[in-house]
């Protein structure tokens, strides 16, 4: 297998605060890779840089062998990187289906003039977009909620809508930022299955997650960050026993905190 994403010596400072401190890692094509680490380890900053929301202070990101360092989000989306957000960012002013249709934005092309005149091509594309959105909603099991306002769904479902919306961009690489946060046990399991189902369609997935049971269940590889640096990387089993990880996660004060097996 070859790598789909390569991150090299990535640094990001906010004023005097160092969020990422020379981070280097790779992601294999078709894998589920989890990134874990305490709060403030730089996980979300990393996502923001890969997806083009932030520019790194130094270092670079390569996607499919080409540099995407500092590319704006609309470019990275078109190249095949999509993401979800830690604190849900659904378009509350739209229905579920419309949310997913926005995801098709970077794969469609009707502009102001063509839509204003409602040229035949524009109408056809609109129809196709709607159908594609329904296909994706069917895939994630939300076709019944298609016409509901996005903000009226229960929280767990909203997370799924956000994943559907990200899927709609036809990504090769999907970045999921804490997909299980705020979900109950059953919903977490469901989302885990969905993530694996997505991976089985040939997509590569990076998951930032705090829920260790989910991380251990679905990932091929785990990367552990602390203070913007890599402290461990490897298959879930080896990570569980890694001394550095235990130190960072368990510390001295709370020896019984969430053990990976729980």
Partner 1 sequence: MELSTILQYAFAGIKIGSIYAMVALGFNIIYNTTGIINLAQGEFVMLGGMFTVTLAKLMPLGLAFPIAVLAVAIVGCLFERAAIWPARRSSVITLIMITIGGSFLLKGAAMQVWGKNSFPLRPFSSEKPINILGAWVQPQVFWIIGVLAVVMILLTLFFRFTLTGKAMRACAANRAAATLSGISVDRMVLLSFALSAGIGAIAGIVITPVTLVDYGCGSMYALKGFAAAVLGGLGVSAGAVVGGLTIGLMECFGAALPFQGASSYKDGFALLILFVFLCAKPSGILGRAAISELKKF
Partner 2 sequence: MGKKNLFGLASLVVVLLVVPHLLGNPYYLGVLVWCGIYGLVCMGLSLFMGYCGQISLGHAGFCALGAYISGILTTRFGFSPWPALGVAMLASLLVAFVVGLPTLRLKGHYLAMATLGFGMIIFVAAGGDPFGLTGGPSGFWGIPKLSVFGVVLDSEVKWYYFVWAVVLVCLVALLNIVHSRVGRALRSIHGGEPAAKAMGVHTARYKTQTFLLSAALGSLAGSFYAHYVGFVNPHPFGLNFSIHLLTMVVVGGMTNLWGAIAGTALLTILTRYFRVFMDWGVFFDGFILVIIMLVFPEGLFVGAARRLGGFVSRKRSTGVPGQASRQAAGGG
In whole angstroms, what is the distance from residue 25 CA to residue 8 CA? 7
Q: Which does 151 bind (CB under 5 to 8 A by kind): partner 2, partner 1, none?
A: partner 2
Per CB under 8 A, does 54 bind partner 1?
Answer: yes
Residues 98/161, Cβ–Cβ less than 8 Å: no
Contact window for partner 2 (CB under 8 A) among 4-12, 103-111, 221-229, 233-241 = 103-111
Of 125, 209, 211, 221, the one binding partner 2 by CB under 8 A: 125
Per the listing, tokens 């990932």 go with 219
Residue 15 makes contact with partner 1 by CB under 8 A? yes
Binds partner 2 (CB under 8 A): choice among 126, 143, 190, 220? 126
> What angle separates helix 96-103 from helix 155-167, to the nearest 10 degrees?
30
Tell me the closest approach of the beta carbon of residue 146 to partner 1, in angstroms: 27
CB-based contact 11:59 (threshold 8 Å): yes
**Residue placing its CB nearer to partner 2 in the complex, 102 or 231:** 102
257, 248 contact by CB (below 8 A): no
Task: Using alpha carbons, select from 50, 3, 64 the residue that is nearest to residue 30.
Answer: 3
Of 173, 161, 159, the closest CA to residue 61 belongs to 173
The residues that touch partner 2, with contacts defined as CB under 8 A, are 51-53, 72-74, 77-78, 82-83, 85, 89-95, 98, 101-106, 108-112, 115-118, 122, 125-126, 129, 147, 149-152, 165-166, 168-169
The residues that touch partner 1, with contacts defined as CB under 8 A, are 13-15, 54
């Amino acid at each position: 297998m070859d790598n789909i994403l390569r991150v090299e010596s990535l640094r990001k400072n906010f004023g005097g605060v160092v969020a990422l401190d020379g981070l280097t890692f790779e992601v294999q094509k078709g894998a589920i890779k989890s990134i874990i680490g305490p709060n403030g380890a730089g996980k979300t900053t990393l996502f923001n840089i890969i997806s083009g929301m932030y520019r790194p202070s130094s270092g670079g990101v390569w996607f499919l062998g080409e540099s995407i360092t500092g590319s704006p989000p609309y470019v990275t989306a078109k190249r095949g990187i999509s993401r979800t957000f830690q604190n849900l960012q659904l378009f509350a002013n739209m229905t579920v289906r419309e949310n997913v249709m926005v995801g098709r934005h970077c794969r469609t092309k009707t502009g102001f003039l063509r839509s204003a005149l409602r040229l035949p091509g524009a109408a056809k594309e609109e129809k196709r977009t709607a159908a594609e959105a329904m296909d994706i909603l069917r895939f994630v099991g939300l076709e019944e909620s298609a016409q509901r306002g996005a903000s009226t769904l229960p929280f767990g479902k909203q997370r799924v809508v956000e994943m559907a919306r990200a899927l709609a961009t036809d990504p090769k690489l999907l970045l999921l930022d804490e997909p299980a946060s705020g979900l109950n046990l059953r919903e977490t399991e469901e989302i885990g299955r969905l993530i694996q189902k997505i991976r089985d369609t040939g997509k590569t997935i990076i998951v930032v997650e705090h829920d260790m049971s989910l991380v251990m269940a679905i990932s091929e590889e785990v990367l552990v960050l602390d203070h913007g640096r890599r402290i461990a990387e490897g298959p879930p089993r080896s990570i569980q026993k890694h001394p550095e990880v235990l130190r960072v996660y368990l510390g001295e004060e709370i020896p019984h905190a969430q053990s990976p097996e729980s």
